[in-house]
């Protein structure tokens, strides 16, 4: 099969297409023909030598965790997701070969039915970002009526889901973003949208219960500055890998709670998110679509840092 692979870590140009073996399933695993694959920051970090690159077992390595496609082989004959079923989900890379490929083998608990209202390209933009946002906003922050939540980078892949989930569960949402995204953030559900290029959020936001931190300290000490707007005992949840190594110690000194977050493939939770997508209560936004052989260009675009929503690789015709 054809896949976008890396033979070593480095700049986006190390990504190239090659012919590699189709992964063989083991136990309760599916083989899925991939139609589209989402592109996520963790993919770029891993390609560059950070992220989870230390766990890559061998090269050439196939990156990519998000996928949408069609079942080729089910774990057993009576499984409800039989060959021909449209599915989507997450591949646990690098323990498994990734979704930048024509076929994947994936654990059955990582897969669920694709929302029929979404194209494969749209569906491939959902799993990792939506599951990350759900874990941060719903499971950890327990978003609810009257709660005040500040979401940094609200127009990104995880951010645009986080804003919608927080709003859906009744929270008062403040989101930071660039000038061009302010109106869109309000459309997503933010009661207040702050232009981080012109305004210090701490000057206008007031006290909040929770900060969903999708930036950390890699830009203008955003993480550390967020501690000052949290109420005593409030919670900050940080997702970007390696973006704020001292978060727990700094939060403790400031009298607030802090945790990082790592997403796990979870077909059951993704099924819940599917219902919100089908009802129209939550929407996914795809900024740009690249062909599989342009994976390097997709990574370069992602690393420019101006993506609204998600980037997706089109692997095959549906």
- State pLDDT tens for residues 216-242: 999 999 999 999 999 999 999 999 989
pLDDT higher than 90, residue 305 = no
As a CATH number, domain 2-126+284-314 is 3.90.180.10
pLDDT attached to residue 92: 96
When pLDDT is averaged across residues 5-16 and rounded to a whole number, the result is 98
Rounded CA gap, 157 and 239, in Å?
12
User: pLDDT > 70: what percent of the chain?
Assistant: 100
Tokens of 301: 């675009």
pLDDT attached to residue 132: 98
Q: Report pLDDT digits (tens) over 70-94.
A: 999 999 999 999 999 999 999 999 9
Q: Report pLDDT digits (tens) over 239-293.
A: 998 999 999 999 999 999 999 999 999 999 999 999 999 999 999 999 999 999 9
* Short-list 119, 15, 19, CA closest to 68: 119
Whether 2-126+284-314 shares its CATH topology with 129-260 is answered no
Full DSSP string of 18-57: EE-PPPPP-SSEEEEEEEEEEE-HHHHHHHHT-TTGGG--
- Sign of the CA dihedral with 149 first, then 150, 155, and 156 last: negative
Rounded CA gap, 202 and 194, in Å?
10
As a CATH number, domain 129-260 is 3.40.50.720
Domain boundaries defined on the chain: 2-126+284-314, 129-260
Q: How many residues does the chain have?
A: 318
Place of tokens 């986006």: 12
Rounded CA gap, 4 and 67, in Å?
14
Q: What is the 3-state secondary structure (H, E, C) of 240-287?
A: CCCCCCCHHHHHHHHCCEEEECCCCCCHHHHHHHHHHHHHCCCCCCEE
Q: Report pLDDT digits (tens) over 129-183.
A: 999 999 999 999 999 999 999 999 999 999 999 999 999 999 999 999 999 999 9
- Paired with 4 in beta bridges are 17
When pLDDT is averaged across residues 110-120 and rounded to a whole number, the result is 98
pLDDT higher than 90, residue 318 = no
pLDDT higher than 90, residue 300 = yes
Q: Which helix (H) or strand (E) holds 149?
A: strand 148-151
pLDDT-based confidence at residue 17 (cuts at 50, 70, 90): very high
Q: Which residues, 6+ apart, have CB-to-CB distance to 144 below 8 Å?
A: 169, 170, 171
When pLDDT is averaged across residues 31-60 and rounded to a whole number, the result is 97
* Short-list 38, 84, 27, 83, CA closest to 64: 38
pLDDT-based confidence at residue 306 (cuts at 50, 70, 90): confident
Q: What is the pTM of this model?
A: 0.97
Q: Which residues, 6+ apart, have CB-to-CB distance to 249 below 8 Å?
A: none
pLDDT higher than 90, residue 298 = yes
């Amino acid at each position: 099969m054809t896949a976008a692979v890396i033979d070593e870590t480095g700049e986006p140009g190390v990504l190239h297409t090659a012919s590699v073996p189709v992964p063989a399933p083991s136990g309760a695993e599916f083989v899925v023909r991939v139609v589209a694959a989402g592109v996520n920051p963790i993919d770029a970090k891993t390609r560059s030598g950070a992220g989870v690159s230390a766990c890559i077992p061998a090269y050439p390595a196939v990156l990519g965790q998000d996928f949408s496609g069609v079942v080729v082989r089910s774990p057993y004959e009576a499984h409800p997701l039989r060959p021909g079923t449209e599915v989507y989900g997450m591949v646990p890379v690098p323990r498994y070969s990734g979704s930048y490929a024509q076929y994947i083998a994936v654990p059955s608990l990582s897969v669920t039915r694709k929302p029929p209202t979404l194209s494969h390209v749209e569906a491939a933009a959902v799993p990792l970002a939506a599951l990350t946002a759900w874990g941060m906003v719903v499971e950890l922050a327990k978003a609810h009526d009257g709660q005040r939540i500040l979401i940094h980078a609200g127009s990104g892949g995880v951010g645009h889901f986080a804003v919608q989930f927080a709003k859906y569960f009744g929270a008062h949402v403040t989101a930071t973003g660039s000038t061009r995204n302010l109106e869109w953030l309000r459309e997503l559900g933010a009661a207040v949208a702050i232009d981080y290029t012109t305004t210090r959020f701490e000057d206008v936001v007031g006290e909040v219960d929770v900060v969903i931190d999708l930036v950390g300290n890699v830009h203008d000490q955003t993480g550390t500055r967020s501690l000052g707007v949290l109420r005593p005992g409030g919670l900050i949840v940080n997702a970007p890998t390696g973006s704020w190594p001292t978060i727990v110690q700094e939060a403790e000194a400031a009298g607030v709670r802090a945790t990082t977050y790592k997403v796990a493939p979870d077909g059951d939770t993704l099924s819940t998110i599917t219902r919100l997508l089908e009802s129209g209560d939550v929407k996914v936004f795809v900024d740009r679509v690249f062909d599989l052989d342009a994976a390097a260009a997709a990574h370069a675009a992602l690393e420019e840092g101006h993506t609204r929503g998600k980037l997706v690789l089109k692997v095959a015709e549906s």
